[in-house]
Amino acid sequence: MKKFLSGVYGYLILIIVAGVTLFFLFSNLTKKSFYPETGNFKVKGISKTVTVYKDDFGVSHVSAENEADMYYTMGYMHAQDRLWQMDISRRVAEGKLSEIFGKDALEYDKLFRTIGINRIVKQLYAQISPKSKEILQQYANGVNYFIGTHSQKLPLEFDILNYKPYEWKPEHSLMIVRLMGWELNISWYTDFLFGEIVKKFGYEKAKEFFPNYPEDKPFIISDNKDKAGEKIDTLNIKKTPPKTQPVEKTKPKKKTADASIEDGYKNLVDLGSDFYKTTIDAKTFLGIEGTHIGSNSWVVGGKKTESKKPILANDPHLSLSTPAKWYEIHLYNKQNNSNVSGFSLPGCPLIVIGHNDVISWGITNLMNDDSDFYILNRDSSDNKKYVYNNTSLPIDSLNESIKIKDINDEYDLTVFETKLGPVISNLSSAGFSSKLKFTSASNQIVTFRWTGFEMSDEIQSFYDLNSSKNFDQFKNSFRTYNLPALNFTYADTNGNIGYQAAGKVPIRKNLTDENMAFYPSNGEIEWTGFIPYNELPNSYNPKEDYIITANNKPEKNYKYYISNLYEPYYRAQRIEDLLNQRNNFTAEEIKLIQRDVYSLQAKEFCKYLFDAYANVKTVDKQELYFLDQLKKWDYELKYVSPLASVYSQFEIELYRNIYKEKLGDNLFRDYLFVKNIPVRNTSKLLAENKSWLFESLSRDFLLRKSFVDAINALKKKFGTDDMSKWAWGNIHEVLLKHPLGSVPALSNVLNIGPFEIGGSGTTIACAEYSFSSALEKGTYDVFLGSSMRMIVDLGDQKKYFTIIPTGQSGQPLHENFSDQARRWLNGDYKIVITDFNKMKEAGYKTITLIPE
């Protein structure tokens, strides 16, 4: 026995020694890339000395003599803290993941080479302003100087994957902007999903799955004042849907309008399924889940604040990951007396969200319907041509070579393009495979048009925005802006508040109803241009003295179609309710609103549930107990609340019981993927109670069944009938995942969390999870939420309040890698000051860059 124990102890000692050794090796490997954060450093590429102050959270405050040195230093600091994140982002956009991940990433490289962000950016760079090129070049110079002088001290991820970054080009920053636009694009998902449902049920029945935005809920612009031009009925709707153009040159058999529409959708699903599946898989590979991408930004005027100056709040809802989406930075240059601070995208110069000495601004997704599929006939007399608007045009082709790690031969990809965009049909057999000529059994092709293919100059827009001093300058800064289409909120130190929608919004001819915007046109629902900039929704000093943007519809009776993809109204309504409760708001009270987890959706759905039991005489005793408990609930999805678990399980069981049997497993999963649609649609169905979806089983029966199913599921999940053990946070957690964090040996170092968290996808404090995962796996893992929070009181521009989910540094084990996570989780903030004298007094870390 002693001999046995001696052997066991020996093995344990070996394991411990090996573990300690590995830890120190890993620690040393990581910390070799921790760069000095104080001291004087000579650098090439600047003309004057630049000073960078760093606070305890690692936020960089750049003080430069001139603009060129300021942007150079911004590139240098981005590279110091987020180099691998920058590199992986440009590789996604360029289709170069296979070079570092091997053949597992090949399908995703083929996808992005087909979309062609790399190609469109070459055209963009050629036409942007000289100022934009100058900024991009100076930024790239800073990035490249850092790469060149730290090639032996690269971040951990480069060592793990055994590669080094290549030169940063100005075009790479433009690629990251376009990639952000692609990530926020949900319209083509909806087009395809609608096509799947039309194929199964027909056009009229399919509309029962897709609601319009309710006319009695909050709009961004509430006063309905006319803007530029006359006001007309929304969409100028006609009674008969347009017929599609004939597919063949021979005269087609006459069909009804609906039958012709249905053929178009069926063809889209049949021909475009590879594109749809590969894109969903690519999002999963990159750690981007779901499409419920929303945000909150509101501004309160001085009549409703204690400081008598506006307060602006913003929290964009994006996928939660490590490193964080945003990089916080403060930029000052003496040459222009420019002093701007806020949040930037790693890999891109300029401040996207923030404030200067006079104005502050925030953003939310406009939810623009910015892409359309087209089904085009192939020319029956020439297989290398297609027919568009009765004109035969050549199918362009180009070759792309993809390098693959550990494979000597490059993968040769042929991409086919039309004048509208790339061909994405039958991607597994045409255009998505090696060395294939454009041959396919189908006599049709699918291409798509996206505003991301249009020319624009976002760098110039943000440059002008960063230096704006009043609302007119703020508005005019977006004239060169395109993608992603956004709502911009505004406030200034003179007490003004405002709003401007920005981006290219297509004008479609022959649009008969909002659902027809999903239709895969072959020319009949054509883009005839874009909404003139002066006619995009905007507002200035509204009588309510506040403006709320929460991905809700911008304006009632607006004369152009923008989208039918808006988020559920609950967040906008809740913010409005809270702002109407009182005046004299302070920044501290705005913080309380940002972390609010009260669910108007839960209140609404529970009302229908309670009504469903109103006339039921016999109810199971235990069922009645849980129902009575739910009636006592305050509708707050706090992480300690058991009733939050009861409601959330009831909600997903309700979706299952209404939709799954009718849609089938795969289509039901696709329907839940575009999350805002089932949420909005179920709200409409419950309110109207007249859908064909309730013909076999009544609304009230399905509500009661869903409640019973939820209770049974939770008993099984928690292994007890004791509801006090069912705290929401026990099943609703957030893990801030690193792209390499799925590797078991690396997960504890690269990932942050998991943490218990409250809220849901429809509360102000957003914490979204996958409905499908909750139903199929019983997991409510949060993957999307507030990617940062910012509050600016214009009564004191020398400081503001912010927080991000992780930390400023992208370096694992660095003190600023995860130091903000707990504050973010608890709804706390850090104070960021922009007064350099106070930074000196506070003893901020100081880096001085001296021209070599």
Percent of the chain scored above 70 by pLDDT?
Answer: 89
Which token pair is 591?
Answer: 């913080």
What DSSP state is assigned to residue 760?
Answer: B
Task: Assess whether 155 and 268 both reside in one domain.
Answer: no
Q: Is the pLDDT of residue 25 over 80?
A: no
Task: Assess whether 269 and 377 both reside in one domain.
Answer: yes
Number of CB atoms found within 10 A of residue 633's CB: 18
Listed in sequence order, the residues at least 6 apart from 735 whose beta carbon sits closer than 8 Å to its beta carbon are 751, 752, 753, 754, 755, 781, 782
Task: Assess whether 128 and 23 both reside in one domain.
Answer: no
Which token pair is 815?
Answer: 């003190």
Query: What is the spatial distance between Cα 439 and Cα 442, in angstroms, rounded to a whole number?
Result: 9
At 90, the pLDDT band (50, 70, 90 cuts) reads: very high
Confidence at residue 32, expressed as pLDDT on a 0 to 100 scale: 73
Confidence at residue 290, expressed as pLDDT on a 0 to 100 scale: 62
Query: What is the spatial distance between Cα 674 and Cα 283, in angstroms, rounded to a whole number?
Result: 13
Query: What is the spatial distance between Cα 457 and Cα 462, in angstroms, rounded to a whole number?
Result: 9
**What's the Cα-to-Cα distance from 188 to each of 375, 507, 690, rounded to whole Å?**
14, 16, 29
At 524, the pLDDT band (50, 70, 90 cuts) reads: confident
* 503 domain-assigned: no
Task: Assess whether 3 and 150 both reside in one domain.
Answer: no
* 718 domain-assigned: yes
Q: Is the pLDDT of residue 29 over 90?
A: no
Confidence at residue 292, expressed as pLDDT on a 0 to 100 scale: 53
Average pLDDT of the segment spanning 370-387: 92
Which token pair is 596?
Answer: 């609010």
| Higher pLDDT pick, 482 / 252 | 482
Task: Assess whether 255 and 149 both reside in one domain.
Answer: no
Nearest-5° Cα angle at 63, 60 to 67: 110
Q: Is the pLDDT of residue 523 over 60?
A: yes
Confidence at residue 12, expressed as pLDDT on a 0 to 100 scale: 47
SS3 385: strand
Q: What is the pTM of this model?
A: 0.93
At 744, the pLDDT band (50, 70, 90 cuts) reads: very high
**How many residues would you count in the chain?**
852
Average pLDDT of the segment spanning 200-213: 94
Q: Are strands 60-64 and 50-54 parallel, antiparallel or unpaired?
A: antiparallel
Q: Pick from 726, 750, 766: which residue ends a domain?
A: 726
pLDDT tens figures, 109-121: 999 999 999 999 9
Q: Is the pLDDT of residue 222 over 60?
A: yes
Q: Pick from 132, 152, 183: which residue ends a domain?
A: 183
Query: What is the spatial distance between Cα 46 and Cα 64, in angstroms, rounded to a whole number?
Result: 10
CATH of the domain at 268: 2.30.120.10
pLDDT tens figures, 659-717: 999 999 999 999 999 899 999 999 999 999 999 999 999 999 999 999 999 999 999 99
* 757 domain-assigned: no
| Higher pLDDT pick, 366 / 514 | 366
CATH of the domain at 679: 1.10.1400
pLDDT, mean over the chain: 90
Task: Assess whether 124 and 247 both reside in one domain.
Answer: no
* 712 domain-assigned: yes
SS3 6: helix
At 256, the pLDDT band (50, 70, 90 cuts) reads: very low
CATH of the domain at 88: 1.10.439.10
Confidence at residue 242, expressed as pLDDT on a 0 to 100 scale: 32
Which token pair is 678?
Answer: 């089932």
Q: Is the pLDDT of residue 51 over 70?
A: yes
Q: Is the pLDDT of residue 11 over 70?
A: no
HEC secondary structure over 402-469: EEECCEEEEEEEEEEECCCCEECCCCCCCCCCECCCCCCCCCEEEEEEEHHHCCCCHHHHHHHHHCCC
pLDDT tens figures, 689-700: 999 999 999 999
pLDDT tens figures, 310-323: 999 999 999 999 99
pLDDT tens figures, 796-852: 989 999 999 999 999 999 999 999 999 999 999 999 999 999 999 999 999 999 999
Task: Assess whether 142 and 255 both reside in one domain.
Answer: no
Average pLDDT of the segment spanning 599-619: 96
The total number of structural domains in the chain stands at: 4
Sign of CA dihedral 189, 190, 191, 194: positive
Q: Token match 């319907």: residue?
A: 369
Task: Assess whether 15 and 98 both reside in one domain.
Answer: no
Q: Residue 665: give the domain boundaries.
A: 600-635+642-726
Query: What is the spatial distance between Cα 510 and Cα 588, in angstroms, rounded to a whole number?
Result: 50
SS3 831: strand
Query: What is the spatial distance between Cα 230 and Cα 223, in angstroms, rounded to a whole number?
Result: 16
Within 13 Å and on the Cβ side, how many CA atoms surround 473?
A: 16
**What's the Cα-to-Cα distance from 251 to each of 243, 255, 521, rounded to whole Å?**
14, 12, 19
Task: Assess whether 141 and 92 both reside in one domain.
Answer: yes
Listed in sequence order, the residues at least 6 apart from 148 whose beta carbon sits closer than 8 Å to its beta carbon are none
Which token pair is 13?
Answer: 């000692």
* 213 domain-assigned: no
* 426 domain-assigned: yes
Q: Is the pLDDT of residue 504 over 90?
A: yes
At 383, the pLDDT band (50, 70, 90 cuts) reads: confident
Task: Assess whether 249 and 178 both reside in one domain.
Answer: no
Query: What is the spatial distance between Cα 215 and Cα 194, in angstroms, rounded to a whole number?
Result: 22
Task: Assess whether 23 and 163 both reside in one domain.
Answer: no
What are φ and ψ of residue 767, in 5° steps?
Answer: -150, 80
Query: What is the spatial distance between Cα 453 and Cα 445, in angstroms, rounded to a whole number?
Result: 19
**What's the Cα-to-Cα distance from 751 to each of 321, 649, 744, 813, rounded to whole Å?**
8, 27, 10, 11
Sign of CA dihedral 657, 659, 662, 663: negative
Within 13 Å and on the Cβ side, how many CA atoms surround 535?
A: 16
Confidence at residue 18, expressed as pLDDT on a 0 to 100 scale: 45
Query: What is the spatial distance between Cα 795 and Cα 302, in angstroms, rounded to a whole number?
Result: 9
DSSP 216-255: TS--SB-S----SS----GGG--SSPPPPPPSSSSPPPP-
Q: Is the pLDDT of residue 20 over 60?
A: no
Number of CB atoms found within 10 A of residue 719's CB: 9
* 403 domain-assigned: yes
Q: Pick from 406, 421, 453: which residue ends a domain?
A: 453
Confidence at residue 17, expressed as pLDDT on a 0 to 100 scale: 47
Q: Is the pLDDT of residue 657 over 60?
A: yes
**What's the Cα-to-Cα distance from 651 to each of 16, 646, 695, rounded to whole Å?**
47, 9, 20
Task: Assess whether 166 and 82 both reside in one domain.
Answer: yes
DSSP 562-579: --S-PPPTHHHHHHHHHH
Which token pair is 363?
Answer: 């953003």
Confidence at residue 441, expressed as pLDDT on a 0 to 100 scale: 54
* 687 domain-assigned: yes
